[in-house]
Structure 1
Amino acid sequence: MSRFVRPSKYRHVYGNPAKKEGCHDNVKVSNNAWDTNLVAANGKYISLNWQSSGGGAFAVIPTNRTGKLPDIYPLCRGHTASVLDTAFSPFDDGFVASASDDGTIGLWAIKGDEFDQLDWSDKERERNGGIKDIDPIARVSAGGRKVGQVVFHPTASNLLASATGDHAIKLFDVTHSSSSSSSPSISLRGFTDSIQSLDFDWTGTTLIATCRDRKLRTFDPRSGEAPVQVVESHGGIKGARVVWCGDKDRVITTGFSKMSDRQMFLWDTNNLSKPLKSITLDSSSGIVMPFWSDNNICFLAGKGDGNIRYYELESDELHYLTEYKSTEPQRGLTFIPRRHLNAEDNEIARAYKVTGSMIQPISFTVPRRAESFQADIFPPAPSAVPSLTAEEYFKGKRAPRNMVSLENGKISSSTTLPTAAPSTPTVTAPAPAPASAPAPVPPVDSSPAPAPVPAPAPATASAPAPAAAPTPIQTNTSSPFTRDFASRNEEPRSTFALLKDDSSVVNGSNEGSRSKSGDESEAIIEKLRIQIEERDTRIRELELENEQLKANQEKVRAALLG
């Protein structure tokens, strides 16, 4: 009896860790017990909460400076207490914000020449007075108590959200030339305990947050400081996290049950009365950090774990794919924006993992041998061009994200229109019962299910009308993605796509049904595609085994000769 497996382009995604010479060694990770990811990154820099004396500090490390860092490293200093969190602007790779236990937010402009001093000789270093630290361009007072998290707005430039120690989320208009400010532009309240995690939706219209009081809250920041929805979430008091599922009206939360089992919930943000899907992961004690990829994949990394699991969201089901396994436990983890990925190597995600004294890049790759651009696994990514200014956002304007093609670097507006936050009254739902299944099992499915297409929700009467989508932006000819496509008028198409087109022609104008022969052809084609993916994966495994055997042979030869 044949066994059918749910088809997926990402079933054989594997994590490829960098070798030691490609890692960032000799880092001094902060020992502060506050629960954050400890690290943030983009394609150019990595920021790490640093263990230092004399006030708080964090380090910014260029991604191209691998190997062992010097013992004396230029740090970003300016706080009087420990740095708890950092975040890079999605629109400026050199602009970073830091949250501190001293109740302030630091704003930093990294230009790159600060790291030239690392190449100085001992005489040059002595002549210049030693290594110089980096000073902030501005500091923002957030109310006198600790600032636990900072998150940049996804569409408005220089708009920063922060979770403060007085149980509030405050939004600030920060610019490179701004001076110190003490009054936030917007304050969101209604929390009764420490805020553990927060995230914006695709257009930044709605904000969602988890709290130590075991509740999940959504806000429309421009409609008032009170939450729109309040529901019971995970029953455990330990750290809960939330991440928005891209342009969908779905969120994923991770947390603990009352019995201390680690859980993952999928929610419909239009109605948070109960989760759509609940999965019990295991009984480990480490906090689970969720990360979303626009390939409809959610990565889960537990603190203290060595493994990274990933699930695919399809038709409101979280299908377990596989996991990256490692013996090195992670203290923190972050993923870079998709616009910085290497599409030529079919890299769909890249993480930076913090271990004891090292930051290790991990590249997640789809095993394919095709040399042309794989459009089906590389949808357009959010670009570095903002759709709004902070001032326009505060005036009520909404706009879709600007997207960049990973094939040719062209920038255009997202097809997903902004929507208003759900205007349903605040509700409180009972905590859902923990799932009884100990581990997710991929369901059996013989045919591929079509990906859900999110429909824009109608704007409420109290919400401002959506702004017109901005016109496409002229392509930057200096972009590394730009290529010469003048010699052809259409994109290269795979044999599978052509066969699908042929079957659609045979079917005629009746798009609502397919002939029996067409179904059989697609089933055969899909089966062949799965077999090819399995063969490529096996080839990759054999290549890795061969490399390991060669390395062992070299060690034996060196031992015999020595």
Structure 2
Amino acid sequence: MSRRVVRQSKFRHVFGQAAKADQAYEDIRVSKVTWDSSFCAVNPKFLAIIVEAGGGGAFIVLPLAKTGRVDKNYPLVTGHTAPILDIDWCPHNDNVIASASDDTTIMVWQIPDYTPVRNITEPIITLEGHSKRVGILSWHPTARNVLLSAGGDNVIIIWNVGTGEVLLSLDDMHPDIIHSVCWNNNGSLLATTCKDKTLRIIDPRKGQVVAERTRPHEGARPLRAVFTADGKLLSTGFSRMSERQLALWDPERFAAHEGMRPMRAVFTRQGHIFTTGFTRMSQRELGLWDPNNFEEPVALQEMDTSNGVLLPFYDPDSSIVYLCGKGDSSIRYFEITDEPPYVHYLNTFSSKEPQRGMGFMPKRGLDVSKCEIARFYKLHERKCEPIVMTVPRKSDLFQDDLYPDTPGPEPALEADEWLSGQDAEPVLISLKDGYVPPKHRELRVTKRNILDVRPPSGPRRSQSASDAPLSQHTLETLLEEIKALRERVQAQEERITALENMLCELVDGTD
């Protein structure tokens, strides 16, 4: 009798469990805006949730340890004049978060480690460049202060948050509303999905679409896409029969050869297509293609017929993708491998109540002593509930195979280095001794780099260009600002004196 061979994987028994009631965050008025973002962002220090707010947009920021019932007067982060649609924590500073709003602006905020007494209303900087609402934010994975935004004007803008400057504006690549944007591992490419049903891979610094696939999913509902660790693409969408789908794509199949020089192609006797062309680096190459599988996905999984758009959360360390649908009460997860069928279903975590949004903890924020490989923050109508994914292990020792070195909080590049064409992989850290978030570091507010908060390391550096005295132009600018501030203070003092005199006259007249 033949025996079924079971695929070997350390993630076959990933176990999901909701936190106990006292570990949830209660009495939070989660936003009711109809927008397909996660409405929640989390890092090793804070949990941020977009909430209902009168007269504009707001979100609440809670220290992770502040579980239980949240006071109704707990300070909010406010400043937008319309609902907030997306929030995203800076990967290189756990106290900095960006928010995007229906009011067409992006605001970047500094969150203190202590609980503020009143609402935080003054952002570090406000970024204005979109003509319609801004619904997507994404920080660059390796370059300091580089933030991407996408708006209802079909434009992607990449900012240097430290100076408030627009680094790049991609305004002629999407003919309709952009549904999702994702950086690849080193931030050299973008994957975008659009209402025109096209999945694009874009080189933002060249301003070019390097590969694209029309209608990767045949259905009418929005698509989502994320890069995998090896450069493939995971997309979620709907079939023509409205079944939800997960697909794995190899971008090299989108374009036979990526170079700019001419291609040639001939049929072989077996019916395959033999091509010659050039790589992106101008190296000559050969290709052999199956015409019946020219633009087909590497793998395709069909699920149910729910209407909720599936939000993919991908962990490059374990190569597991978690699918969370708004309005669903479950989280499905799959392992991505190099072996057929490439996408392997692992399990489904189910609960009773549907989710209105979902936050995904970065790997450095997990508890390695409990073999925790993922943690979600599920939004209900009035609360947020942590959900922990663990791999059961009997040993109390550090599990090296579960926790390879993972991206840490230090950037690998400066914004101008990335813009000039440099690429760098994330700076990795070990989780063997756990990760302790650094304490709050005050920003050194300068015109050149507002978010440059790297602490000095080692002895004092030798004199360099960055230590040079202020230029004459900078000094003149500072003196002008000081003069303007003095004039403003003097005008206010005169106004206060006039008002005091008027008050005295009124009091004397009533005596």
2:430 corresponds to 1:377: no
1:229 is matched with 211
Pairing of 1:59-458 with structure 2 (within 5 A): 59-113=60-114, 115=115, 117=117, 131-175=118-162, 178=163, 183-187=166-170, 189-224=172-207, 226-232=208-214, 233-246=216-229, 248-272=230-254, 273-293=295-315, 294-315=317-338, 317-408=342-433
1:463 is matched with none
Q: Is the 8 A contact 1:267 1:275 kept in 2?
A: yes
Q: Give the partner amino acid of 1:259.
A: M
Q: What is the Cα deviation at residue 409 of structure 1?
A: 6.8
Q: Give the partner amino acid of 1:174.
A: V
User: What whole-Å deviation, never above 9, does each CA across 1:164-194 have from its counterpart, x for those lacking one?
Assistant: 111121100102xx45x5x453325311111
Distance in 2, matches of 1:371 and 1:133, equals 42
Q: Is the 8 A contact 2:98 2:107 kept in 1?
A: yes
Q: SS state of the match for residue 12, structure 1? A: coil
Q: SS state of the match for residue 95, structure 2? A: strand
Q: What is the Cα deviation at residue 408 of structure 1?
A: 4.2
2:50 is matched with 49
User: What whole-Å deviation, never above 9, does each CA across 1:429-449 have from its counterpart, x for those lacking one?
Assistant: xxxxxxxxxxxxxxxxxxxxx
Distance in 1, matches of 2:183 and 2:311, equals 16
Q: SS state of the match for residue 80, structure 2? A: coil
1:508 is matched with none
Q: SS state of the match for residue 393, structure 1? A: helix
Count of aligned residue pairs for this structure pair: 394
Q: SS state of the match for residue 93, structure 1? A: coil
Distance in 2, matches of 1:189 and 1:390, equals 23
1:447 is matched with none
Distance in 1, matches of 2:88 and 2:225, equals 16
Q: What is the Cα deviation at residue 61 of structure 1?
A: 1.6
Distance in 2, matches of 1:264 and 1:16, equals 24
Q: Is the 8 A contact 2:356 2:379 kept in 1?
A: yes
Distance in 1, matches of 2:175 and 2:250, equals 24
Q: Is the 8 A contact 1:344 1:373 kept in 2?
A: yes
Pair 1:87–1:93, CA change in 2 (3 A): same
Q: What is the Cα deviation at residue 15 of structure 1?
A: 0.9
Give the RMSD, CA atoms, in angstroms. Answer: 1.9
Q: What is the Cα deviation at residue 258 of structure 1?
A: 2.1
Distance in 1, matches of 2:457 and 2:7, equals 41
Distance in 2, matches of 1:301 and 1:393, equals 32
Pairing of 1:437-516 with structure 2 (within 5 A): none
User: What whole-Å deviation, never above 9, does each CA across 1:376-400 have from its counterpart, x for those lacking one?
Assistant: 1111111111000111111111112
Distance in 2, matches of 1:36 and 1:343, equals 29
Q: Give the partner amino acid of 2:384.
A: I
Distance in 1, matches of 2:60 and 2:352, equals 26
Q: Is the 8 A contact 1:349 1:363 kept in 2?
A: yes
Greater strand share, 1 or 2? Answer: 2
Q: What is the Cα deviation at residue 134 of structure 1?
A: 3.9
Q: Give the partner amino acid of 1:240.
A: L
2:29 is matched with 28
Distance in 1, matches of 2:40 and 2:119, equals 22
Distance in 2, matches of 1:152 and 1:188, equals 19
Q: SS state of the match for residue 64, structure 1? A: coil
Q: Is the 8 A contact 2:367 2:434 kept in 1?
A: no
Distance in 2, matches of 1:240 and 1:210, equals 6
Q: SS state of the match for residue 283, structure 1? A: coil
Distance in 2, matches of 1:409 and 1:11, equals 25
Q: SS state of the match for residue 417, structure 2? A: helix
Instruction: State the structure with more CA Rg.
Output: 2
Distance in 2, matches of 1:72 and 1:234, equals 45
The runs of 5 or more residues in structure 1 that have no matched partner are 118-130, 411-472, 476-562
1:560 is matched with none
Distance in 2, matches of 1:409 and 1:72, equals 34
Distance in 2, matches of 1:73 and 1:324, equals 32
Q: Give the partner amino acid of 2:210.
A: V
Q: Is the 8 A contact 1:74 1:134 kept in 2?
A: no
Q: Give the partner amino acid of 1:4.
A: V
2:465 is matched with none
User: What whole-Å deviation, never above 9, does each CA across 1:143-180 have from its counterpart, x for those lacking one?
Assistant: 221111000000001100111111121100102xx45x
Q: What is the Cα deviation at residue 255 of structure 1?
A: 0.8
Large movers: runs of 4+ above 2 Å: 1-4, 131-135, 183-189, 269-274
